[in-house]
Structure 1
Amino acid sequence: MVAAVRVHKHGGPEVLTFEDVEVPAPGQGQIKIKQYASGVNFIDTYFRSGLYQSPVGMPFVAGNEGAGEVIAVGPGVTDLKVGDRVAYVVALGGYSAERLLPAERAVKLPDNIGYEQAAGMMLKGMTAQYLLNRTFKVGKGTTVLMHAADGGVGLILCQWANHLGATVIGTVGSKEKAELAKKNGCHHTILYRDENFVDRVKEITGGKLCDVVYDGIGASTFPASLDCIRPLGYFVSFGSASGPIKAFDINMLQFKGSLFATRPTLNHYAAKREDLVSIASDLFDKVGSGAVKIPVNQKFALKDARQAHEHLEGRETTGSTILIP
């Protein structure tokens, strides 16, 4: 039996229960890992609340990201062995001292990437990678608006977009968070509680607006985000921190400038093993070179997962949050 955090019914952070679970021997194509750190992400709150349905039913172990050491391999696993250092993004099962996962969804960690760093960046860092390189190709001369520029994805995306030569505009909730975003590559910050972000984007860009808006907030920033985008630009909605965007009249995109709108997820961009490895390798290269740093700004004990969720949903966190078993 090992310690884990499970959800027996949907609800707020109070439904996260710290208890012992049994982790069996790995089956066909599986590995068993001892976890050294687990990432905490907004998607974890979606599964907990019921916004996203658990693919394994109830109860389930929360968490979608982590890093650890392989302690057993199942039949058919040939490219991983006991003792390998790995990290992963897999739906559920992350908040646990040990876990099983499909070997094909694990990636080996380079020697220069630590467990805590990996747990703080796999979902967020790989999300930033595909958003900047595949959903919309960001490069020199691109103007980007990043909502929640001080958040887990935000701080990584700001650094990476800056590295690619883009001009980065970010919305933040306080002057302290603005300073943090600026230290991580954000050129212009907008205090969304005090300023109208659409007006400020128009002012900052001289009326030219942005090529792409990356929005992990959802309901509270839509449809205003569309007014920040130049004709033929992209609205990329990748999260719902303030609640999901409801159905809208698609003709709105025509009147706002023949805009493109998409709701991507890492699951699809990394569905093939070769794409998963490619995305992770690019992330490891950028972090290993120092071009992108992973700010793990909050650490909680596994038993304090409820507190971690309260801080996350209360907008009290910056950068990455991890749990230590």
Structure 2
Amino acid sequence: MENVSENTELVEVVLPGTVEPEDLQIRRGLVPAAGKGQIVVRMEATGVSFAEQQMRRGRYYDQPPFPFVPGYDLVGTVVAAGPGVATDLVGRRVAALVKVGGWASHVVLDAADAVEVPAGVAAEEAETLVVNGITAWQMLHRKARVRGGGTILVHGANGGVGTVLVQLARAAGLNVIGTASARHHDALRNMGVTPIDYRNEDIPARVRALAPGGVDAVFDHVGGRSVIDSWHLLAPGGTLVSYGSAATRDDSGSKQWPVLKILGRVWLWNALPNGRRAYFFNVWAGRALNKSGFRDRLNADLTEVFHALQRGDVTARIAARLPLTEVAEAMRLAESGTVAGKIILVPENTPSGR
């Protein structure tokens, strides 16, 4: 076992309640020790995702009670290993999906939850593909399973998950239609995507014109009316994968209700004898029932995503890079909708850049 230096300080961001980004708190303290089966990871990169934006509003489906440390995923170097953990893990770069706790200089994890990052993949590159990459990979290859030559529709094709998803789909030989605002259309065309302006075009009409027989899969993070339209755009045998309710981001009322409505529709649609399938994708599904199997899938699939990065099938799109202590600016930027790629947070002593 190797111990973190006693002079090392823990720096973490605390979300105290439903506050504005400027009211996020910086807390300092002692770096925690690794317990049995655990490791301490020195964070090198974490990120701002839609989940943290929803948590700030108190609207993430199963977020913990306030106050807590947000941060859905991270990449860093193992600096200490607890009892029962192989000591040769110390010094290795790993990635982890944690849901909360990633916005910290040091994070304690179960060693089994860490996925090794291949040599040659930088921490910030890997971070862009942890939650976004695993979500895109599993939705495309474990849920939709569209054959080469098929056509899919990706809502928010310029977003964090959408960008990875369309690149993986193109690498698999699929035709991709993607919704995005007009300023992102040139970038989408460069990736081989047929863009639709969701602000100014009739999406269902445009999709039907492009794919008269329907599409083989739709990936919908919007929710609300969009998920109903998405279902009706499927070809026979097609698959709808819903994975969010962005349309209700600023709504008041129960944070569970938008998701429960989608789950109800999914149940109803799957009961119909029409040959189509619908899923509500949750990256954590199955963990409680089979933790070992969940970890094996996560490790295998995230490793595949990293290999896709090494092959050039996907690119690491970093929109901005800011120190952890400038998290308020990072959150504002992420919520502005003006950037493409992931907002990366790095340790506070690392110079920022865009």
TM-score by length of 1: 0.91
Q: Which residue of 200, 217, 224 maps to 1:212?
A: 217
8 Å CA contact 2:16–2:67 kept in 1: the answer is yes
Matched, 1:170 2:178: yes
Q: 1:110 aligns with which of 101, 118, 125?
A: 118
Pick which of 311-320 and 13-22 moved more. Answer: 13-22
**How high is the sequence identity, in percent, across the aligned residues?**
31
The residue correspondences of 1:155-194 to structure 2 (distance < 5 A) are: 155-174=163-182, 176-186=183-193, 188-194=194-200
1:302 maps to what in 2? Answer: 324
Partner of 1:17: 25
Superposed displacement of residue 245, structure 1 = 4.9
Aligned pairs (5 A) from 1:259-278: 259-268=276-285, 271=291, 272=293, 273-278=295-300
Q: Secondary structure at the match of 2:17?
A: coil
Q: Which amino acid aligns with 1:227?
A: H
Instruction: In structure 1, give the amino acid aligned to 2:148.
Output: K
1:237 is matched with which residue?
A: 242
3-state SS of 1:303 partner: helix
One-letter code aligned to 1:308:
A
CA distance 1:177–1:222, shift in 2 (3 Å): same
2:322, 2:330 within 8 Å by CA — same for their partners in 1? yes
The equivalent residue for 1:202 is: 208
| 1:310 positional shift | 2.4
Residue deviations 1:23-49, cap 9 Å, x none? 311111111111111022111223332
Matched, 1:314 2:336: yes
Matched, 1:65 2:73: yes
For structure 1, the residue ranges without an aligned partner over 5 or more in a row are: none
How far residue 262 of structure 1 moved from its aligned partner, in angstroms, is: 0.9
- Aligned-pair distance for 1:253? 6.7
Q: Which amino acid aligns with 1:222?
A: V
Q: Partner amino acid for 2:198?
A: Y
Structure 2 CA distance, aligned partners of 1:204 and 1:312?
32
For the residue of structure 1 that corresponds to 2:285, the secondary structure is helix
> Is 1:285 aligned to residue 303 of structure 2?
no
RMSD: 2.3
C-alpha distance in 2 between matches for 1:296 and 1:172? 18
Q: Is the 8 A contact 1:138 1:161 kept in 2?
A: no
Query: CA 1:288 to 1:34, structure 2 compared with 1: closer, same or farther past 3 Å?
Result: same
| TM-score, L = length of structure 2 | 0.84
Residue from 118, 122, 127 that aligns with 2:130: 122
Aligned length: 322
Question: Structure 1 residues 161, 27: closer, same or farther in 2, change over 3 A?
Answer: same
Q: Name which of 142, 149, 152 aligns with 2:160.
A: 152
Change (3 A) 1:80 1:137: farther
Secondary structure in 2 aligned to 1:160? helix
Separation in structure 2 between the aligned mates of residue 212 and residue 138 of structure 1, nearest angstrom: 7
1:221 to 226, 231, 236: 226
Superimposed CA distance per residue, residues 237-264 of structure 1 (whole angstroms, 9 cap, x where no aligned partner): 1122222356255656778955322111
- Following superposition, the deviation at residue 82 of structure 1 comes to 1.7
Structure 1 residue 222 displacement after superposition: 2.8
CA gap of 1:133–1:28, structure 2 versus 1, over 3 A, is same
